[in-house]
Copies of this chain bind each other. A is one copy, B any other.
């Protein structure tokens, strides 16, 4: 596989992190499995919208889903997703702190 193709696939997986609702879902699923309705209850919004976002995340391989009776349960495909997400959160927090430090100096 060419490098450029890898970069495309890699970016595609990363894109799945690039939406507030999807970050919220990853946060929710850190250490547990939840069903669609449970997730919807926390995130709010339209069910069709949530369903589409969950479907994107599942297609890109960052979530797993399984159906049990009436309910569909979702979970992270791997702890690596949660770890990566936490690291990026830290990058954000570090930046916010740096920014605050700058403001304080003025």
Given A11-B19, A20-B7, check contact A87 B95 (CB 8 Å).
no
Report whether B22 and A91 are in contact in the complex, using a CB–CB cutoff of 8 Å: no
Cβ of A83 within 8 Å of any chain B Cβ, yes or no, is yes
Considering the complex, which residues of chain A in the window 1-28 have a beta carbon less than 8 Å from any beta carbon of chain B? 3-4, 6-15, 17-24, 27
Counting every copy of the chain, the complex holds: 2
Number of A residues with CB within 8 Å of any CB on chain B: 40
Q: Tell me the complex Cα distance, A88–B87, Å.
A: 11
Binding site for B on A (CB under 8 A): 3-4, 6-15, 17-24, 27, 61-62, 77-78, 80-81, 83-85, 87-92, 94-96, 98
* CB-CB nearest 10 A-B residue pairs: A61-B95, A15-B18, A14-B17, A84-B87, A7-B20, A84-B84, A11-B20, A80-B87, A8-B20, A18-B18
Kindly list 6 other residue pairs between chains A and B, CB separation below 8 angstroms, not including A80-B88, A80-B90, A84-B88. Answer: A6-B92, A10-B92, A12-B18, A13-B92, A61-B95, A84-B87
